[in-house]
Amino acid sequence: MPRPGFVLEVDRSTPPILFWRGENFSLEKLPAGRSRVIYPPEPLPALDDIDGAIRRALLNPHDQDPLPALLFPGMKLTIAFDDVSLPLPKMRRPDSRQRVMEAVLDMAAAAGVDDVHIIAALGLHRRMHEYELRHALGDRIFDAFHPRGTLYQHDAEDPDNLAVIGTTPQGEVLEINKRAAESDLIVYVNINSVAMDGGWKSITTGLASYRCLSHHHNPETLENTRSLMDRHKSALHQSVWRLGTVLRDHGPKVFQIETTLNTDMFPSPFGFINKREWEWNVKDRATFLATTKSLDRTPIRLARKIFHGIEGPHQMTSVQAGETDAVHKITLEHIFKQQLVPVEGQTDILTLGIPFVCPYNPDGVMNPVLVMCMGLGYLFNMYRNKPLVREGGVIIMTHPTYRDFNPVHHPSYIDFFEEVLSDTTDPATMSRKWEKKYAEDEWYRHLYRTGNAYHGVHPFYAWYWGAHGLQHAGKIIIVGGDAPTVRRLGFTPASTMDDAFEIATDVVGRAPTISHLHVPALLVADVS
Amino acid sequence: MSTKRSVSRHTARRAARVLDVASFALRTALRPTRQLGFPYRAPTTPSGVALPEQPSSLGADFETDWARRAPAKAARKLIVNGPLRLAVKALADPEVLGLDRLSDLSSHDDPPAVIFAPNHHSHLDTPLMMIAVPEPWRSKTVIAAAADYFFDTRIKGTLAALALNALPIDREVTGRRSSDMIRGLVSDGWSLVIYPEGGRSPDGWGQEFKGGAAYLSSRTGAPVIPVFIDGTGAIFGKGMKRPKPGTSKVVFGAPMWPVEGQSTRRFNARIEASVTALGDEVLTDYWTARQRAARGENPKLSGPEYQGWRRQWALDDRRKLGAAGMRRRQQRRWPDIGK
């Protein structure tokens, strides 16, 4: 029986705690008597018969007819799926998307459906490489559909292939992929790693245009999103749900399939990551030492290759299908069952170890903008009710924060860092002054549509993702980061964790209380 | 010159004398046994007398327990991972597909024994399977081999058991002895490769599946893994004197269990249909194969109904589509971004 998550009060006998530092780790001693470490629950057991569970979900959907009853000869069927940003790290083959899609295709074949299109729901993310599509969908689906041109990736900048479904009472226009809009049925195949994903967000962002996304991907909405993991207190999700209502009332029929994964994220050589430090055995300690010492001497490119090559052993813990709202409700229950940890009260300081990857750099570089996005956008938002750190408190992150970018994946990030961040770090100002220029830049648009680049506006969205954290924190410190780069982000550099605590005293006094979020594995702190 | 000639004559005479002595010594040594005769020598059979039948130790009765003990396993591991793998790579250059379909079974703490049921075109199929079957099953797999072909002499049987971990099986009937032996092996965790067609294809097309795999699965509870092997018929099919190197594919299908109340015959038909669909998947693609499977239109492994040259002609066409020939090239599709 997996143990639930828990909060460790740090005392003098507590060993140093594991922190991610990009493509490496460190052990940091937290002050005794005023620090606590929030540990995630242990991974839940995976479903015994995954393929059987998928089939049962398709045949017994929630608030909708069974999938075979929705399929008929001559229909237009569109299957959309989550892109490469999920799950992290990529899961061992077969990926959940492949399993679900093969079950759907079996039923479509049995029903005599010929017109099937499979679309990667990218939103404004980069197009997936062939090896990524093969990994997510399997060779069988790729070889069957890609050569025919019926497996492709959504293009949010193709005016000929976008269709307006309707408008919300607030004036938000729902514009999505034309093929999906004109289909008799959209089957959405989702992977839910965190509570933020899934529901109506799947289609209304994954298959949407820039115009549609800009209604909720903006500083005002994201500053009022508290948090991204709490749908009912998230302005972003409220906007998405309004768009979802338009889709439900005026769009094609949607059959939503959502899956959840356990948090068994790293294979055995990295087993120490998922263990509590005082439970490390000789092997764990030896592995940690060997790993960190060798990574210290490994060229960064090779270290990235090693880390991005990791395939997580995480497995499916639930699969549910049917009407989007009904399905997502059950999905959230499963997500919180795996990730929720009750925590009492806020502290003055929140410490976060930033790993080598976030949803926007699979097989790429964790550039400085993404360090901010991962820390303030994702990890800071891993809460319900209240943030772990009090308003005006200090957030301390550990990451090398290299001034390094992947020019293929993140071309507009480079200019964003040099041009926009040297002008302002305020989300509202940059939105007013700079966003339009980047969003409508023809070169970025070309790279997004034909290469493997994120959309020109994406670095703004990554920055807005952290808008709530920026607004909430009194000071943000990065330990071990490249000092000029950290300063460009508007943060304070520190050499060591002790230095960071010393710097923080300006804001939080001499004896601040500290929370450390021990991720990964993923967890959501339910702060009372 | 004359001195040299006299020396060589002298040497020849001495050699002849030595040979004479040796031959005399041998004759003398053997004389007592010849004189002793039966019971020191085998009896002769009186004419007109029929000998009672002796229990056979060949064919299906060939003893192979030793081949599953540690020394033989270690030797086999060397053979399979060394010369056998190199030979198969050189001759058939296999591409193995569909292993992801076995991931659920292999992820068990104690992966269950399974029955692999491939189609059969060539003697190459068995070495190919020995290499293609993934761990954890590879090192604990026995091959069901035709008792009348591989175990008809002691030397052939010993080699087959050592190198391939072959197990003698009656081709026509799954006899009680074979069946009991396999049941015992499966309960000990040994997996099995059995060719449901019963033998290599005589003409390059498949043959009707016999019920062996389905019957054994029903009796042991082990799942059947349908497997389609493509290309080996063209490399070293039945009747070919020497192999013609080429490429091959091994496609694993999803595990199949007998459904409660379903007869062995029906289960066998399901296995055959599944291997047929995998064959279609190799020729076309996954989606086309699934669509045709749903309509019951996958091209039969046994080929067209007609006989004669047209059948052979159709086989050539099929091979052109399969791994043995050129597959249609897949072109990269560039996104259409208009002008």
Q: How far apart are CA A263 and CA A272, in angstroms?
A: 14
Write the residue in A98, A109, A315 that is nearest to B290 by C-beta.
A109
Determine whether the interchain pair A155/B281 forms a contact, defined as Cβ–Cβ distance below 8 Å: no
Residue of B nearest to A145 (CA): B287
The predicted pLDDT at position B324 comes to 44
Q: Is A342 exposed, middle or buried (0-12, 13-18, 19+ CB in 10 A)?
A: middle
Report the mean per-residue pLDDT for chain B.
83
The predicted pLDDT at position B330 comes to 46
Could you tell me the pLDDT band of residue B32, with boundaries at 50, 70 and 90? low
Determine whether the interchain pair A143/B100 forms a contact, defined as Cβ–Cβ distance below 8 Å: no
Indicate the domain borders of chain A. 6-43+339-527
The domain tally of chain B equals: 1
The predicted pLDDT at position B238 comes to 87
- Which residue stretches of chain B are H helix? 2-36, 70-79, 85-92, 103-106, 125-132, 147-150, 154-164, 176-187, 212-220, 232-236, 264-283, 286-295, 309-321
Q: How far apart are CA A14 and CA A30, in angstroms?
A: 9
Residue A352 phi/psi, 5-degree rounding, is: -135, 130
Determine whether the interchain pair A112/B333 forms a contact, defined as Cβ–Cβ distance below 8 Å: no
The predicted pLDDT at position B327 comes to 43
Examine residue B43 and state whether it is found in any structural domain, yes or no: no
- Is the CB of B100 inside 8 Å of chain A's CB atoms? yes
Q: How far apart are CA B270 and CA A98, in angstroms?
A: 23
Determine whether the interchain pair A105/B334 forms a contact, defined as Cβ–Cβ distance below 8 Å: no
Determine whether the interchain pair B290/A92 forms a contact, defined as Cβ–Cβ distance below 8 Å: no
Determine whether the interchain pair B330/A98 forms a contact, defined as Cβ–Cβ distance below 8 Å: no
- Is the CB of B339 inside 8 Å of chain A's CB atoms? no
Write the residue in A110, A149, A446 that is nearest to B333 by C-beta.
A149
Examine residue B36 and state whether it is found in any structural domain, yes or no: no
Distance from A450 to chain B by nearest Cα, in Å? 6
Question: Which residues numbered 36-55 in A keep a CB inside 8 Å of some CB on B?
Answer: 49-51
Which domain does B76 fall in, by range? 59-321
Write the residue in A106, A158, A315 that is nearest to B290 by C-beta.
A106
The lowest-confidence range among A488-497, B35-44, B53-62 is B35-44
Give the CA angle between residues B104, B108, B113 to the nearest 5°: 90
Could you tell me the pLDDT band of residue B4, with boundaries at 50, 70 and 90? low
The predicted pLDDT at position B61 comes to 78
HEC sequence for A31-100 = CCCCEEEEECCCCCCCCCCHHHHHHHHHHCCECCCCHHHHCCCCCEEEEEEECCCCCCCCECCCCHHHHH
Judge whether residue B39 has pLDDT over 80: no
CB-based contacts of A198, cutoff 8 Å, min separation 6: A190, A192, A256, A258, A328, A331
User: Does residue A409 or residue B299 have the better pLDDT?
Assistant: A409
The predicted pLDDT at position B205 comes to 87
The tens digit of pLDDT for each residue in A454-512 reads 999 999 999 999 999 999 999 999 999 999 999 999 999 999 999 999 999 999 999 99
Instruction: Suggest the residue from A140, A157, A264 to mutate for an interface test with chain B (most B CBs closer than 10 A).
Output: A140
Both tokens assigned to B261: 């109340």
Distance from A141 to chain B by nearest Cα, in Å? 6
- Is the CB of A337 inside 8 Å of chain B's CB atoms? no
Examine residue B72 and state whether it is found in any structural domain, yes or no: yes
Determine whether the interchain pair A114/B288 forms a contact, defined as Cβ–Cβ distance below 8 Å: no
Residues of chain A contacting residue B256, judged by C-beta atoms under 8 Å apart: none
Question: Can you name the CATH fold of A6-43+339-527?
Answer: 2-enoyl-CoA Hydratase; Chain A, domain 1 (3.90.226)
Determine whether the interchain pair B335/A110 forms a contact, defined as Cβ–Cβ distance below 8 Å: no
Judge whether residue B326 has pLDDT over 50: no
Determine whether the interchain pair B100/A114 forms a contact, defined as Cβ–Cβ distance below 8 Å: no
Distance from B133 to chain A by nearest Cα, in Å? 17
DSSP of B250-263: EEE---B-PPTT--
- Is the CB of B309 inside 8 Å of chain A's CB atoms? no
Distance from B61 to chain A by nearest Cα, in Å? 40
Distance from A246 to chain B by nearest Cα, in Å? 29
**Which regions in chain A score pLDDT beneath 50?**
none
The tens digit of pLDDT for each residue in A63-90 reads 999 999 999 999 999 999 999 999 999 9
Distance from A418 to chain B by nearest Cα, in Å? 29
Residue A152 · residue B332 · CB < 8 Å: no
Q: How far is CA A512 from CA A346, A349, A351, A441, in A?
A: 11, 7, 12, 46
Residues of chain A contacting residue B103, judged by C-beta atoms under 8 Å apart: 92-94
Residues of chain A contacting residue B104, judged by C-beta atoms under 8 Å apart: 49-51
- Looking up residue B122, the CATH number of its domain turns out to be 3.40.1130.10
Q: How far apart are CA A410 and CA A396, in angstroms?
A: 26
Judge whether residue B37 has pLDDT over 70: no
